[in-house]
Amino acid sequence: MKKYETPLLNELEKGPWPSFVKELKKAAKTSEMANDEVGQLEKSFRDKRGYWKHGGIVGVLGYGGGVIGRYSSLPNEFPGVAHFHTVRINQPSGMFYKTDSLRTILDLWDEYGSGLTNMHGSTGDMVLLGCRTEALEPLFAEVTSRGWDLGGSGSALRTPACCVGKARCEWANIDAMDICNDLTQTYQDYVHRPAWPYKFKFKIAGCAVDCVASIARADCSIIGTWKGNIAVDQDVVKDYAKAGMNINAEIVGMCPTGCMSYDGKTLTIDDENCSRCMHCISKMTKALRPTGERGASILIGSKAPIVVGSLLSWVIVPFMKMEPPYTELKELAEKIWEWWDDNAKPRERIGEVIELKGMRSFLEAIGVPPQPQQVLAPRKDPFFFWKDEDLNGKK
Amino acid sequence: MEKDELKDKIFEFVQAAKGKKKLKEKDIIKGMAEKTGETPDNVKKAMREMIDIGRLMYSYGGGSSSVEIPSEEYLREKGLIK
Amino acid sequence: MAWLTEQEAKAKRKTDIGPPHYSKMLPPVISKNYGKWKYHEVFTPGTMVHVAESGDKVYTVRVASPRILATESIRAMLDIADKYCDGYIRWTTRNNVEFMTTREENVPLIKKAAEDAGYPAGGIGSGLSNMVHTQGWVHCHSAAADASGLVKAIMDEVYPYFTEKKLPAKTRLALACCVNMCGAVHCSDLAVVAIHRKVPEINHDLVKNMCEIPTTIGACPTRAISPDPAKKSVKINPDKCMYCGNCFTVCPPIDIHRPEEDGVAIVVGGKVGSLRKGPMFSKLAIPYIKNNPPRWPEVVSAVKNILETYANDARKHERIGEWIDRIGWESFFKKTGIEFTYQHIDDFTFARDTFRTSAAFKW
């Protein structure tokens, strides 16, 4: 195996934070591919630029996603990374693993690839980093015969992701892991066979703390909420005060709706004015908990800046019950996809199409009525559309 | 229309677009349904069968996915030709 | 493991089975108390306990990872999980690893074992969690800077805020190696995003064969690209180009990489939770710092400066964006000593929402 001098990368083996260079070099002990990755990366650090070509056309037979082609632009100098494709393995919801189950993937990956991984990729898949084209089919057969499958890529439904949900969080208003798994299984075809103008992401968060960044990173954000009051255990409130919490400053004073008061003994909540932001509950988790009906708010459209600026998701359905098999959610999703597919140019995300075509056309197409929860404020300028049905008083 | 005939027509359609337009699944389904009078569902099924055996393939380039006729290199790699 | 022959592999090949069901992956205490958790308590930035209605407890040790992991390292983690956690392990959405156990006495043992393996405990509560990031030069064609290298250099410097030191509120760091932002950079408390600063150069001969002209024109957010019929290619209006590189994504012969001009910007004040002020976008703090591998000292000190100014000035529970909202951006630039430039004033799509429309401000 070629020995590379890596004076620049060596600098990144120092210091207390876990070193990715050490990881690369661990894999490089036994893998020519990982070794040439180290060599090429040292060159990148020297020249201040990457040496990878645009993704190419690779994949497993029948699928259009799950593998992202990656080729070095210096294949003669670094033959081990001439092919260095990414394989996305769909993670189990919540990213819990039984160790023997995960070992199976590791063993397969040492056999067929570079031994390098990302745990996990930004969308949520386990990412196997560095596979040769001819190894894709055998790896896929091994992986699927052992009960695992590829995730999404390209203009497809991307691998849905969720927070830890009910598995280990008292704040989960919905079964995020189950919804995530159900959507993933129901829409396998959309995950593996890119049929749309561009990518589409689901992320499911159990509450408004949003540990999966659903509101910023999902075309469809599903965020748990509730409709009832917040139950207060006054004895425990006293414990928090005794333990040094300044309840007026830290809780009452930071409530965005001013719906709380505390007289030194009793914490009072004007529930009708509560917007369910989760601040007080997250800071006094032993004393406060939601009660009553649980469900999700459905929001649409968030994405990163490309092309015309980043977007946060917009509320479309303020409250939806979330019981398996999640029929209402799926019917809504299918209507959303149909409208998007009919109206988008290539590489337009749903949020951009809604901006272009107008929120009203979108809401009408998916059958969602106007509700004040959908907006921060009504429009300010007196320019608006009147349709015949509005004039006839039908709407 | 017989399924095999439909498949041949789909193949011709994709071949005609080669180098001119990157076809998405929907372009093929819509285009062929209009051309042949077949239901979009039937076109989709036929197209998917062709993809499953490598007569067509999913491609990726320019930031989005499309459907194309596979290269010899691809077919060889998949063991579909010698 | 016995390997399949190619024929056997093909015969066993399945499609569209999806991931294994999560229920097969859950520790028994999690399965038993699923949906019945009562509260949790954070002991240290690396350890916490969740208590169920049943009285059952599950202790969690959260440890750092560099996201890039060799199989050998994951096996070492799995060995720890076998020894102390009945054979279960979990990853968080920010690439931390979580070891869960019902036995409190295992907590220090897990912590030590993970630290001995090189993965320190931390990341819970009011402090830093792991810095989410993208592929960078390790694996991406589009990177304007490396990702892992910058993250390593930054996290080495602010390390105590991960393992022990508190901040006013939880603080989410992120890094994207180009403006495609394969990570929640646009809504992070403090984030680094790599940028280009020069109009791309077009290899017209290659454009002819490799690119769809309408798609390439359509890819430009500022309408800087128009057809160049004579060359069967496109041309770029340098007065309109904002160097986003989206044309390069759809048309590789439009080369935007300039190693000596590329670098990073620093953005601040974003968050995703709806708590208190609601989700916020990150906004520009520093428009450009040059790439200076392997350890990017200028970026590291800029990040540290912002983080420490925030730590010293913000109120308890205030995220960076809430702190800046309260003190005002003019105070942010004053307190951090960061220079305010033309680049800070928006001239892209949502610019008018950012201009000041009040006569009240600070000096």
ipTM: 0.97
Domain of residue B30, CATH code: 1.10.10.10
In a domain, B50, yes or no: yes
A24/C68 CB distance under 8 A: yes
In a domain, B23, yes or no: yes
User: Which of B25, B58, B79 has its CB closest to that of A59?
Assistant: B58
- List the structure tokens of B48: 């998917």
- Mean pLDDT over C245-256 rounds to 94
- Give the minimum alpha-carbon distance from A387 to chain C in angstroms, rounded to a whole number: 29
In a domain, B19, yes or no: yes
Interface residue B21 vs chain A (CB under 8 A): no
C-alpha C201/C-alpha A320 separation (Å) is: 50
Residue A244's pLDDT is what?
A: 97
Q: Of chain C residues 40-99, which have a CB less than 8 A from chain A?
A: 40-41, 50, 58, 60, 64-75, 78, 81-82, 87-93, 95, 97
Backbone Cα Rg of chain A: 25
* pLDDT greater than 80 at residue A207: yes
% of chain A residues with pLDDT over 90: 96
B21/C211 CB distance under 8 A: no
pLDDT tens-digit map of A128-180: 999 999 999 999 999 999 999 999 999 999 999 999 999 999 999 999 999 99
> If you ran DSSP here, which 8-state letter would residue B80 be given?
S
B18: exposed, middle or buried (C-beta count within 10 Å: 0-12, 13-18, 19+)?
Answer: exposed
Q: pLDDT confidence of C6, banded at 50, 70, 90?
A: low
- Give the minimum alpha-carbon distance from C173 to chain A in angstroms, rounded to a whole number: 13
% of chain B residues with pLDDT over 90: 70
- Give the minimum alpha-carbon distance from A74 to chain C in angstroms, rounded to a whole number: 12
Report helix, strand or coil for C84.
Answer: helix
User: Which of A65, A68, A137 has its CB closest to that of B78?
Assistant: A137
> If you ran DSSP here, which 8-state letter would residue A94 be given?
G
In a domain, B70, yes or no: yes
DSSP letters spanning A184-249: HHHTHHHHHS--SSS-B-EEEESSTT-TT-HHHH-SEEEEEEE-SPEEE-HHHHHHHHHTT--HII
Residues on A contacting B at a C-beta cutoff of 8 Å: 54-57, 59, 61-65, 68-69, 133-134, 137, 153-156, 193-198, 341, 346-347
Chain B residues lying within 8 Å of C180, measured CB to CB: none
Interface residue B21 vs chain C (CB under 8 A): yes
In a domain, B82, yes or no: no
H helices within chain A, ranges in order?
7-11, 20-28, 32-47, 99-112, 133-145, 176-186, 188-192, 214-217, 234-242, 247, 279-283, 327-343, 350-357, 359-366, 388-391
Chain A residues lying within 8 Å of C273, measured CB to CB: 208-210, 278
Mutate which of A53, A57, A68, A85 to disrupt the B interface (most B C-beta within 10 Å)?
Answer: A57
Q: Of chain C residues 276-295, which have a CB less than 8 A from chain A?
A: 276-279, 281, 291, 293-295
C363: exposed, middle or buried (C-beta count within 10 Å: 0-12, 13-18, 19+)?
Answer: exposed
User: Which of A54, A63, A198 has its CB closest to that of B64?
Assistant: A198
Residue C2's pLDDT is what?
A: 58
User: Which of C16, C78, C246 has its CB closest to that of A99?
Assistant: C78
Give how far Cα A267 sits from Cα of A251, A291, B77, Å: 10, 17, 69
Instruction: Indicate the angle between helix axes C320-327 and C329-336, nearest 10 degrees.
Output: 110
Residue A394's pLDDT is what?
A: 61
- Mean pLDDT over A315-335 rounds to 98
C249/B62 CB distance under 8 A: yes
Based on the structure, what is the number of domains in chain B?
1
**In contact, B4 and B42? CB cutoff 8 Å:** no
Cβ-Cβ contacts under 8 Å for A84 (sequence gap 6 or more): A33, A37, A52, A70, A71, A72, A114, A129, A130, A131, C139
User: Which of C119, C259, C270 has its CB closest to that of A49?
Assistant: C259
- Give the minimum alpha-carbon distance from A114 to chain B in angstroms, rounded to a whole number: 20
In a domain, B33, yes or no: yes
- List the structure tokens of A288: 């406060």
Cβ-Cβ contacts under 8 Å for A268 (sequence gap 6 or more): A260, A261, A262
- Give the minimum alpha-carbon distance from C180 to chain A in angstroms, rounded to a whole number: 6
Flag whether the pTM goes above 0.95. yes
Interface residue B63 vs chain A (CB under 8 A): yes
Q: pLDDT confidence of A395, banded at 50, 70, 90?
A: low
* pLDDT greater than 90 at residue A275: yes
User: Which of C9, C138, C183 has its CB closest to that of A138?
Assistant: C9
Residue B1's pLDDT is what?
A: 84
> If you ran DSSP here, which 8-state letter would residue A119 be given?
E
B22/C212 CB distance under 8 A: yes
C275/A209 CB distance under 8 A: yes
Q: pLDDT confidence of B81, banded at 50, 70, 90?
A: confident
Q: Of chain C residues 334-353, which have a CB less than 8 A from chain A?
A: 348-350
- Mean pLDDT over A6-30 rounds to 98
A193/B52 CB distance under 8 A: no
- Give the minimum alpha-carbon distance from A140 to chain B in angstroms, rounded to a whole number: 12
- Mean pLDDT over A295-305 rounds to 97
C-alpha A282/C-alpha A209 separation (Å) is: 8
- Give the minimum alpha-carbon distance from B45 to chain A in angstroms, rounded to a whole number: 12
Chain B residues lying within 8 Å of C6, measured CB to CB: 79
pLDDT tens-digit map of A75-88: 999 999 999 999 99
C-alpha A244/C-alpha A247 separation (Å) is: 9
* pLDDT greater than 70 at residue C235: yes
Chain B residues lying within 8 Å of C142, measured CB to CB: none
Give how far Cα C315 sits from Cα of A238, A253, C41, C310, C326, Å: 23, 12, 22, 9, 10
Chain A residues lying within 8 Å of C19, measured CB to CB: 89-93, 148-149, 181, 184
Residue A393's pLDDT is what?
A: 75
Report helix, strand or coil for A260.
Answer: strand
B65/A194 CB distance under 8 A: yes
C-alpha A202/C-alpha A355 separation (Å) is: 19
C218/A110 CB distance under 8 A: no
Domain range spanning residue B59?
A: 3-77
* pLDDT greater than 70 at residue C200: yes
B63/C249 CB distance under 8 A: yes
* pLDDT greater than 90 at residue A297: yes
In a domain, B68, yes or no: yes
Interface residue C221 vs chain B (CB under 8 A): no
Q: pLDDT confidence of A208, banded at 50, 70, 90?
A: very high
Interface residue C211 vs chain B (CB under 8 A): yes
Query: CA geometry: angle at A373 spanning A370 and A377, to 5°?
Result: 90
pLDDT tens-digit map of C73-130: 999 999 999 999 999 999 999 999 999 999 999 999 999 999 999 999 999 999 999 9
Q: How many CB pairs under 8 A join A and C?
A: 381
User: Which of C68, C159, C262 has its CB closest to that of A17?
Assistant: C159
Residue C5's pLDDT is what?
A: 64
- Mean pLDDT over C230-242 rounds to 96
- Mean pLDDT over A193-209 rounds to 97
Q: Which of C68, C74, C72, C77 minimizes the C-alpha distance to C152?
A: C68
- Give the minimum alpha-carbon distance from A89 to chain B in angstroms, rounded to a whole number: 19
